[in-house]
């Protein structure tokens, strides 16, 4: 999907039969060697777009032969654009939006459907996989890229292809595996705000049958904002990680890969800045320093055995993480600065512990004939604990119930949840070539989910709650859901390197529980997606054009919302069901215009509508979104890119890349406040959240002729564009509308050496 004129796999592409290569370890190794050899075999006057081999359908295929809306980004492309994690790839992937303000609670959206799973009672809509292992909570998904081979983004329901159901889509990160050759890499990144990032990788063959690959990463950057209340820097970076992979060729036909990984994060979180102080972009004044931490451990064992007619794969994995997210929701220091005389204080803290175990078995056909199939079994068990703590100024409470509480004190509350969730599924996918050009694919999946949830609310010495008003002590709830989802695809190759496909797929996401409130379980969501797609390569593999036209219908779409309580007006966090539909167009173009110049463009248009809306709490007819677009979804996005490579002969090469991205207008629900000043500020500034914005990134890289050394000068958001990622309903309600700003201009230098 993404080009690099440094590589060409014309020969590789010609040797990949459509759907013919199974996901076997020997075949994948041979394919990688063949791709490498084809690069060096090119003559000077031959240049082609890089071909990417993906395993989205559990067999090695050219991405152009997969009848799915999929964007695949190779290791070369990830390096060329300087992507550090998933959030940097949104602008390069039509249909994917990554508006990440907090790594412990990232928000990924595919075709307007988001993974807002703040509470453990709900599941994410976008499934994130790392080396075939489902990441579970989104808090475990935004890990830094380390030694990545490629990233695959699949759009629309993917239940018949992945172990864990993916209703909106799936993001799959595939790391490089241990190899039989010694290699090593060192990298250092420095930039403004004292950015310092160190990376290291070593691959060591231990014997003819054993190989070890180890990665290390440490990343630090000072904050670009100052808390004038205490002088601390805010919005900094401090994270690291390590991974070790051991490959064992147990026999001629069996390969085992054991992997362990660890990631940590300890930094001052995204800043909620009150509009009472002017704008949300400069230094700020907070009496609570926002902070977030994350410790993530993972281990997996993947066994692949090649039999005469099929490959049997087993993936056993466990992930565990602990996270803490503390925020100053009111965005001011007025309570502390005035010793409580100004009763403006609102802080939240989310503490999580989560353990996720999964076991998946897959059987994939080996025969390179007209019938290709894939069968799978999946079981997972999740145990999650979550403490949600809030603190309000007593003055805010007194404004609701009367002057009964000491005015200069604070009002803490806590809701604690304990979740045990199990999921089991059986799925299968089959492709039959009716003719050399025409193929039919059909898939089915049956899923059963069960959740047990226990809720306890802890009130303060005053004996009552406002945000968590209903007192509970170990309230036990349980429910289960089951679903049969399907996929049907017809694809037709109307030219040697061009295919059209028509697909219909259904998907499902389990219901759940409102994590902090006493309420009935919310329903499971179901989606049906109809899609017409084009995969094509033209001009001797120098022009690639892909497009998809799709329409989806959601029943009981789960929406995380901040709802003012009908009695107090204070915001509560609730998940509700609504029906919605959407129609969209995605286009992706890459053109190797000359041997030196590569141009790229992608475009996404999405028109959504809420068809049935559930009013909750203090909402009135004014808040009814029936007939309106889904909230916080950009209608249009596009990206334009250009890369120019200059050969320096024996001295190496110089490449220059620039990307321009545009994100269009979005709709956002009105914010509510009884305070006229707060309401005015919210109304006046909401355009900073909803209006269109653009971004420019650039990178200049030098590589020596031996491809050992590389140095890159880079810049992100070069025009220092300012816009808001969020405006809080909760802070607006109490009289202090606060928002989280976008990142400022970043720039720096990367240097790496590959042994």
pLDDT tens-digit profile of 617-648? 778 888 889 999 999 899 999 999 999 999 99
The domain tally of the chain equals 1
**Residue labelled with tokens 């994100």:** 663
pLDDT of 428:
94
Between CA 360 and CA 129 the distance in angstroms is 13
Distance from the Cα of residue 248 to its chain's centroid: 31
Q: How far is CA 355 from CA 37, 337, 383, 422, 671, in A?
A: 43, 41, 5, 12, 36
What tens digit of pLDDT does each residue of 666-714 get? 998 888 888 999 999 999 999 998 999 999 999 999 999 998 999 999 9
Who's near 1: CB < 8 A, 6+ residues apart?
Answer: 52, 63, 70, 71, 72, 73, 544, 546, 588, 590
pLDDT exceeds 70 at position 24: no
Q: How far is CA 189 from CA 82, 171, 175, 196, 659, in A?
A: 10, 26, 21, 6, 20
**Mean pLDDT lowest among 136-150, 215-229, 428-442, 658-672:** 136-150
- Torsion angle (degrees, nearest 10) of CA 60, 66, 69, 70: 20
pLDDT of 58:
66
Cβ–Cβ < 8 Å for 570, 675: no
Between CA 501 and CA 65 the distance in angstroms is 10
Does some domain include residue 96?
A: yes
pLDDT exceeds 90 at position 251: yes
pLDDT of 566:
76
Q: What is the mean pLDDT of residues 425-442?
A: 95
Counting DSSP H helices and E strands in the chain, the numbers are 8, 37
pLDDT exceeds 80 at position 729: yes
pLDDT exceeds 90 at position 478: yes
Residue 143 pLDDT class (50, 70, 90 cuts): confident
| 535 CB-contact burial (10 Å; exposed 0-12 / middle 13-18 / buried 19+) | buried
pLDDT exceeds 80 at position 30: no
CA geometry: angle 496, 502, 503, nearest 5 deg: 130
Between CA 730 and CA 739 the distance in angstroms is 11
Residue 117 pLDDT class (50, 70, 90 cuts): low
Does some domain include residue 4?
A: no
Cα end-to-end distance, the chain, whole Å: 29
Residue 274 pLDDT class (50, 70, 90 cuts): very high
Question: If we measure between CA atoms, which residue out of 346, 268, 319 comes closest to residue 102?
Answer: 268
Question: If we measure between CA atoms, which residue out of 170, 13, 2 comes closest to residue 77?
Answer: 2
Residues facing 47 on adjacent strands = none
What tens digit of pLDDT does each residue of 283-298 get? 999 999 999 999 999 9
Q: What is the mean pLDDT of residues 385-412?
A: 93
Does some domain include residue 304?
A: yes
Cβ–Cβ < 8 Å for 590, 598: yes
Percent of the chain with pLDDT over 70: 92
pLDDT exceeds 50 at position 37: no
Question: Tell me, what CATH number does 486's domain have?
Answer: 2.40.170.20
- Residue, of 84 and 638, whose pLDDT is higher: 638
pLDDT of 115:
62
pLDDT exceeds 80 at position 507: yes
pLDDT of 369:
80
SS3 labels along 525-589: EEEEEEEEEEEEEECCCCEEEEEEEEEEEEEEEEEEEEEECCCCCCEEEEEEEEEEEEEEEEEEE
Average pLDDT across the chain, whole number: 88
Percent of the chain with pLDDT over 90: 67
Cβ–Cβ < 8 Å for 184, 754: yes
What is the number of other CB atoms lying within 10 angstroms of the CB of residue 443?
Answer: 22
pLDDT exceeds 60 at position 44: no
Domain of 403, in residue numbers:
10-754
Residue 29 pLDDT class (50, 70, 90 cuts): very low
Residue 139 pLDDT class (50, 70, 90 cuts): low
Strand duo 53-54 + 61-62: pairing: antiparallel
pLDDT of 28:
40
- Residue, of 163 and 414, whose pLDDT is higher: 414
What tens digit of pLDDT does each residue of 332-384 get? 999 999 999 999 999 999 999 999 999 999 999 987 788 999 999 999 999 99
| 676 CB-contact burial (10 Å; exposed 0-12 / middle 13-18 / buried 19+) | exposed
Between CA 25 and CA 727 the distance in angstroms is 49
Residue 7 pLDDT class (50, 70, 90 cuts): very low
Residue 446 pLDDT class (50, 70, 90 cuts): very high
pLDDT of 261:
95
Q: Which two tokens stand for residue 525?
A: 């969501």
**Mean pLDDT lowest among 108-112, 137-141, 341-345, 364-368:** 137-141
Does some domain include residue 640?
A: yes
In 7-54, where do the E strands start and end? 53-54
Residue 14 pLDDT class (50, 70, 90 cuts): very low
Does some domain include residue 3?
A: no
- Residue, of 3 and 533, whose pLDDT is higher: 533
Between CA 179 and CA 381 the distance in angstroms is 33
3-state helix, strand, coil in the chain (%, to 5): 10, 55, 35
pLDDT exceeds 90 at position 15: no
In 300-413, which residue ranges form alpha helices assigned H by DSSP?
334-337, 394-401
Strand duo 169-175 + 126-130: pairing: parallel
Between CA 754 and CA 709 the distance in angstroms is 7
Does some domain include residue 472?
A: yes
Does some domain include residue 5?
A: no
Q: Which two tokens stand for residue 57?
A: 């359908």
Q: How far is CA 271 from CA 332, 530, 716, 720, 722, in A?
A: 11, 40, 20, 18, 14
Cβ–Cβ < 8 Å for 384, 353: yes
**Residue labelled with tokens 């988001």:** 114
pLDDT of 56:
67
What tens digit of pLDDT does each residue of 568-598 get? 778 778 888 999 999 999 999 999 999 999 9
Predicted structure pTM score? 0.89
Does some domain include residue 121?
A: yes
């Amino acid at each position: 999907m993404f080009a690099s004129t440094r590589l060409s796999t014309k020969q590789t592409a010609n040797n990949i039969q459509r759907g013919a290569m199974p996901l076997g370890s020997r075949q994948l190794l041979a394919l990688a060697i063949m791709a490498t050899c084809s690069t060096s075999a090119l003559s000077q006057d031959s240049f082609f777009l890089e071909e990417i081999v993906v395993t989205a359908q559990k067999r090695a295929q050219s991405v152009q032969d997969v009848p799915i809306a999929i964007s695949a980004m190779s290791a070369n492309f990830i390096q060329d654009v300087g992507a550090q994690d998933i959030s940097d790839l949104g602008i390069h992937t039509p249909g994917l939006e990554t508006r990440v303000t907090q790594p412990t609670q990232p928000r990924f959206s595919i075709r307007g459907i988001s993974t807002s799973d703040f509470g453990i009672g709900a599941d994410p809509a976008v499934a994130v996989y790392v080396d075939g292992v489902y990441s579970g909570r989104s808090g475990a998904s935004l890990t830094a890229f380390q030694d990545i081979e490629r990233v695959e983004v699949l759009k629309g329901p993917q239940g018949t292809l992945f172990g864990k159901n993916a209703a909106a889509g799936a993001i799959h990160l595939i790391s490089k595996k241990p190899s039989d050759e010694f290699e090593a890499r060192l990298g250092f990144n420095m930039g403004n705000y004292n950015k310092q990032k160190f990376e290291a990788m070593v691959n060591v063959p231990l014997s003819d049958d054993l190989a070890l690959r180890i990665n290390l990463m440490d990343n630090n950057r000072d904050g670009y904002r100052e808390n004038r209340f205490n002088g601390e820097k805010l919005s900094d970076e401090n994270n690291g990680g390590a991974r070790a992979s051991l490959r064992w060729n147990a026999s001629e036909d069996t390969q085992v890969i054991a992997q362990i990984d660890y990631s940590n994060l300890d930094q001052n979180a995204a800043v909620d800045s009150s509009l009472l102080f002017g704008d949300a972009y400069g230094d700020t004044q907070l009496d609570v320093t926002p902070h977030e931490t994350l410790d993530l451990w993972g281990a997996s064992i993947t066994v692949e055995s090649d039999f005469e007619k099929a490959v049997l794969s087993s993936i056993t994995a466990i992930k565990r993480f602990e996270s803490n997210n503390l925020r100053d929701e009111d965005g001011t220091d007025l309570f502390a600065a005035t010793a409580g005389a100004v009763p403006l204080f609102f802080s939240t803290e989310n503490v999580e512990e989560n353990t996720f175990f999964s076991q998946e078995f897959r059987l994939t056909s080996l025969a390179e004939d007209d019938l290709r199939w894939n069968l799978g079994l999946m079981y997972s068990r999740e145990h999650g604990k979550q403490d949600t703590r809030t603190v309000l100024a007593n003055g805010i409470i007194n404004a609701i119930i009367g002057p009964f509480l000491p005015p200069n004190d604070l009002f803490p509350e806590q809701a604690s949840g304990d979740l045990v969730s199990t999921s089991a599924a059986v799925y299968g996918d089959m492709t039959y070539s009716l003719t050399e050009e025409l193929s039919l694919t059909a898939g089915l999946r049956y899923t059963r989910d069960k959740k047990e949830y226990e809720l306890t609310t802890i009130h303060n010495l005053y004996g009552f709650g406002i945000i968590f008003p209903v007192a509970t002590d170990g309230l036990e709830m349980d429910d289960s859901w089951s679903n049969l989802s399907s996929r049907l695809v017809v694809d037709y190759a109307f030219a040697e390197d061009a295919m059209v496909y028509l697909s219909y797929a259904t998907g499902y996401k389990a219901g759940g529980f409102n994590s902090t409130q006493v309420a009935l379980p919310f329903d499971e969501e179901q989606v049906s997606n109809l899609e017409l797609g084009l995969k094509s390569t033209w001009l001797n593999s120098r022009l690639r054009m892909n497009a998809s036209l799709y329409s989806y219908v959601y029943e009981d779409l789960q929406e995380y919302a901040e709802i003012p309580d009908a009695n107090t007006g204070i915001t509560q966090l609730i998940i509700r069901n609504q029906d919605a539909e959407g129609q969209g167009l995605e286009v992706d173009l890459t053109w190797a215009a000359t041997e030196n110049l590569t141009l790229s463009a992608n475009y996404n248009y999405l028109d959504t509508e809420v068809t049935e809306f559930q009013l909750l709490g203090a909402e009135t007819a004014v808040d009814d979104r029936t007939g309106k677009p889904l909230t916080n979804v950009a209608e249009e996005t596009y990206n334009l890119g250009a890369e120019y490579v200059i050969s320096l002969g024996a001295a190496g090469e110089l490449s220059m890349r620039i990307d321009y991205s545009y994100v269009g207008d979005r709709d956002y629900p009105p914010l509510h406040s009884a305070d006229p000043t707060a309401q005015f500020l919210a109304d006046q500034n909401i355009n900073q959240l909803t209006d269109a914005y653009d971004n420019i990134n650039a990178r200049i890289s030098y590589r020596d002729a031996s491809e050992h050394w590389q140095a890159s000068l880079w810049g992100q958001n070069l025009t220092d564009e300012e816009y808001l990622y969020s405006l809080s309903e909760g802070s607006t309600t109490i009289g202090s509308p606060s928002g989280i700003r976008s990142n400022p201009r970043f720039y720096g230098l990367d240097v790496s050496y590959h042994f």
